[in-house]
Chain A
Amino acid sequence: DVKVTQSSRYLVKRTGEKVFLECVQDMDHENMFWYRQDPGLGLRLIYFSYDVKMKEKGDIPEGYSVSREKKERFSLILESASTNQTSMYLCASSFLGSSRNEQFFGPGTRLTVL
């Protein structure tokens, strides 16, 4: 079974703190994704990566950065957390290639920024 794990289920941070969200997958997937999910807005893509050290901006990259130093690990970084980044963060992974691009999700991290 594909397993995608996220470092925390719940996280509470203060405004201005640097926040790291970690995601690890064990299926040798090339692609990894970070989304945020907010009520009424659905899932919005923040960043994705299709290979080690490669990254592409999604729809809402502002205020975020990412790091992919190893194939199995994809980190989302909030350089200076703000209250409008309070959200559910979901990591996903998939194989390369549009013919089999179903995504496998982690359990999510609910981040609250005070």
Chain B
Amino acid sequence: SQQGEEDPQALSIQEGENATMNCSYKTSINNLQWYRQNSGRGLVHLILIRSNEREKHSGRLRVTLDTSKKSSSLLITASRAADTASYFCATGSRDDKIIFGKGTRLHILP
């Protein structure tokens, strides 16, 4: 079952620019999470935002959540080559499972 859907599917930007990825979902959630996956590796948890929060920051990451629109965005500021990866949103409900979207492939150009 698919819950989150990321947009765009792929994004290429110059190093130093900001990268924005969006996630839309369909049903009510308890929290929304963002993960990063470097090529051929496991996923790494980046940030979790609860349904009663609107914005959260962690280093160069900024996440927003709009539950009325059922959408979230992930902003990476001052991008670096090391940010090249796939980014997934995942929605958490009342049980302990989370449902992942298909991801956005981010490529940072030198």
Contacts and interface: CB of A to CB of B under 8 A. Distances in A.
A105 B86 CA distance: 15
A48 B29 CA distance: 20
Contacts of B100: 35, 42-43
Interface residues of A, number: 30
Interface of B: 1-2, 30-31, 33, 35, 40-45, 48, 50, 88, 90, 92-103
Interface in A42-92: 42-43, 45, 48, 50, 58-59, 88, 90, 92
Interface in A16-37: 31, 33, 35
Given A42-B2, A42-B88, A98 B45 contact: no
Nearest to B41: A107
A101 B96 contact: yes
A96 interface: yes
